[in-house]
Structure 1
Amino acid sequence: MAELQDHISAPAEAGELDQPAPHPAPPPPVPTTPDPAQAHELLARHPIADGYSGLLQALRTLPWYDLELGESAVETDLPRLRAGGTGALLWALHIAGERPVTSALEQIDLVNHVVDRYPEGLRLARSASETADARAHGRTAVLIGPAPAEAAGDSLGTLRALHALGLRALTLSGTAWACDTGLNRFGEEIVREMNRLGMLVDLTGASPATARQVFAVSKAPAILTRSAAQALNHHPDNAPDELLAALGASGGLCLVPCSADRTGPALRDVADHLDHVREIAGPGAVGLSGMFDTATAHPEGLEDVSGYPALIGELIERGWPETDLAQLTWGNVQRVLRAAEFTARAAHHRGTPPTGSPRI
């Protein structure tokens, strides 16, 4: 009995009783993945208005194609446009060689041919209202542009003729009248004439001096059709924060490209650039530019136009409200189109256009 009592009364080993009971380690966080259904539902309400497509140039190299059944030789076809929730495309003109005006005319002719060939999937649009009407009828609206400035042949008359044929955006960089030192007098006249016509001024690749002059001269908002944030990636076409802030303050629009060299190799890199542009320029100044079919590498997960729901899902996970997403996908492009049209109507009330065709 004494032995039993001694055993019960024996002191505990040093530190045995004064240690707290161990707590189980918390479970590792469960990674969340974007809900694809949520992204698709949003895109059904607010489809993508893609600011730069190279499909036209890609089709020119193919002996035969079928965009309705699906075409593996390109990154854009009707099934993938529907899967990606794309409601509008700006079809870029690619100018190369010694006959830029002829090349532009041939490509505009091809646009009309392709749209006529697929009337159940595509519809040519020349205004914001025609773009919205195409969407309402279940078609993807096709707007012509941007075209390099050399397509105008340094002629206001040629610029007017291209607009009459449907061209709706012109990229100013790479000309003698829009260079590192800014716009000369002819360049300013080009911008004023674009305002009068309702054509969008594209500042992608333009010098800071040119951009500043456009903001001063133009009565309509300017756009960047394929520029990401230079603060995150130093590609020469990307925009510094100063330009982004000025673009937002003037009502302009930066269309962030799905291009690995301009953003980065992953889908989240594109989302980072969208976050940055929204922060600097505001939610009303950010949009999307696929740059599909331009012979450029795309971030993983955005290899073709069907990848847009994954990007929208990523932004939903980051906390973007639907109001901002609606502006990003559709609303901001519609707004700048309408602003350009309003400026054109106001210009017509102020007086008649120049009747000559001044050159540099």
Structure 2
Amino acid sequence: MADLQDELDAPAEAGDLETTRPTADEGDPSDPSDPSDLARPAPAGPVPADAGTAPTPPHVLLARHPVADGYCGLPQVLRTLPWYDLELGESAVEADLPRLHAGGTGAQLWAPHVDPDAPVTSTLEQIDLITRIVSRHPEDLRLARSASDTADARAHGRIAVLVGPAPAAAAADSLGTLRSLHALGLRALTLSGTSWASDEGLSRFGDEVVREMNRLGLLIDLTGASAATAARVLAVSKAPAVLTRSAARTLNHHPDNAPDELLGALGESRGLCLVPCSADRTGPALRDVADHIDHVRRLAGPESVGLSGTYDTGDAHPEGLTDAAGYPALIAELQARGWTDADLALLTWGNAQRVLRSTEFVSRAARHRRAPGT
């Protein structure tokens, strides 16, 4: 087991995930698209503008390393529309297929909207809706349940759709319900807003939920969680935790943003903070989003920062990032700040894939050690 864990934690792991469609010169070390080169972590500090070669054009970099977007509310918006056309473009949404492709999106977490009066039923209906939307667009979308599924979708030019995160209330205080939702495709749960994940931290049942999520392979989302809950999750969980839509609280005091202490702890545990394109959480300009990304990178490290569009959630978005087509502009801004291709490859795709694979590794190990929780 120790050998397997060492292999999982190796820095080159992200490079294993950067496979693209085979080409005649695949594997040529002189090829700048060689994923093993782009995925190799670079020093955390900025690189001088005159060091090395010119930056890769953003569209080219995103074609090689598309964005794994941590949060999208598209299912709930589509649920309210009498008619829509995602394929040709839909003015009523911010993340239709043309804009997703234009922005270089390779994977998205589609968040179910949960009715507090009927949490389980509404979650089941949203999972059903997500499944039907994906099945209607087989040339563009593919439902994913694992890191291998997301990599396969990307290799075939599709956008991988993962279900989640759902609010903790969706599980209705039942591990059996949690297992059933996982069997139907749910892959992330937000641990906040319940009696067992409160301002006081996790209850004993909350501890058991975390262990069962580890066993199932569910991503643990700490967005909006109290400091006590976040600290307890990081102590109990064997899998890395994520913040699916949190920026830096030091720069913007939004309640969903993460304090520096949590960002540092997340980096130490190899977790992931997905910085949102949300004016409320980051600020009204694209450079504000870049400021938050830089801050998270400084505190948590280049392997613990990613992107979250928060499109179709009702949030206002910064100028230049008003829809899913804006990611190339954000990449260009980060390149101007000295980000290397290697760190950008981690930001967009590599870090999210690593966390998915780590969560699956923990799940496989946990299933050998323990039976389903009760």
TM-score (norm 2): 0.85
* Deviation per residue, 1:235-282 (Å, 9 max, x gap): 011001000000000010000000000000000000000000000000
Residues 300-339 of structure 1: matches in 2 within 5 Å?
Answer: 300-339=319-358
Q: Which residue of 1 aligns with 2:283?
A: 264
1:158, 1:76 → 2: CA distance?
30
2:318, 2:105 → 1: CA distance?
18
2:114, 2:124 → 1: CA distance?
10
Q: Which residue of 1 aligns with 2:201?
A: 182
1:348, 1:74 → 2: CA distance?
40
* Deviation per residue, 1:31-56 (Å, 9 max, x gap): xxxx9980001001100000000101
Paired AA for residue 239 in structure 1: A
Task: Give the C-alpha shift of residue 93 in structure 1.
Answer: 1.1
Task: Give the C-alpha shift of residue 82 in structure 1.
Answer: 0.7
CA contact (8 A) 2:116 2:169 kept: no
Give unpaired runs (5+ residues) of structure 2: 1-53
Q: Which residue of 1 aligns with 2:187?
A: 168
Q: Which residue of 1 aligns with 2:154?
A: 135
Residue identity over aligned pairs, in percent, reads 75
Residues 50-65 of structure 1: matches in 2 within 5 Å?
Answer: 50-65=69-84
1:92, 1:313 → 2: CA distance?
28
Q: Which residue of 2 aligns with 1:45?
A: 64
Residues 153-302 of structure 1: matches in 2 within 5 Å?
Answer: 153-302=172-321
CA contact (8 A) 1:54 1:293 kept: yes
Q: Secondary structure at the match of 2:131?
A: helix
2:72, 2:241 → 1: CA distance?
19
1:154, 1:352 → 2: CA distance?
19
Residues 15-30 of structure 1: matches in 2 within 5 Å?
Answer: none
1:97, 1:246 → 2: CA distance?
31
1:66, 1:310 → 2: CA distance?
26
Would the alpha carbon gap of residues 36 and 290 (structure 1) be closer, same or farther in structure 2, given more than 3 Å must change? farther
CA contact (8 A) 2:55 2:335 kept: no
Q: Which residue of 1 aligns with 2:92?
A: 73
CA contact (8 A) 1:36 1:309 kept: no
* Deviation per residue, 1:210-249 (Å, 9 max, x gap): 0110011000000000000011000011001000000000
* Deviation per residue, 1:314-334 (Å, 9 max, x gap): 001111011110010000110
Count matched residues: 321
Task: Give the C-alpha shift of residue 97 in structure 1.
Answer: 3.7
TM-score (norm 1): 0.88
1:299, 1:101 → 2: CA distance?
34
Paired AA for residue 173 in structure 1: S
Q: Which residue of 2 aligns with 1:25?
A: none
2:131, 2:149 → 1: CA distance?
15
Q: Name segments (4+ residues, structure 1) moved above 3 Å.
A: none
Task: Give the C-alpha shift of residue 351 in structure 1.
Answer: 2.9
Q: Secondary structure at the match of 2:57?
A: helix
Is 1:104 equivalent to 2:123 in the alignment?
yes
Would the alpha carbon gap of residues 37 and 245 (structure 1) be closer, same or farther in structure 2, given more than 3 Å must change? closer
1:348, 1:240 → 2: CA distance?
33
Paired AA for residue 158 in structure 2: R
CA contact (8 A) 2:59 2:328 kept: yes
Paired AA for residue 341 in structure 1: E
2:268, 2:212 → 1: CA distance?
23
Q: Secondary structure at the match of 1:123?
A: strand
Match of 1:84 among 75, 86, 103: 103
CA contact (8 A) 1:36 1:310 kept: no
Paired AA for residue 334 in structure 1: Q
1:98, 1:266 → 2: CA distance?
37
Give unpaired runs (5+ residues) of structure 1: 1-34
Task: Name the Cα RMSD after superposition.
Answer: 1.1
* Deviation per residue, 1:9-60 (Å, 9 max, x gap): xxxxxxxxxxxxxxxxxxxxxxxxxx99800010011000000001011101
Task: Give the C-alpha shift of residue 352 in structure 1.
Answer: 2.1
Moved more, 276-285 or 94-103: 94-103
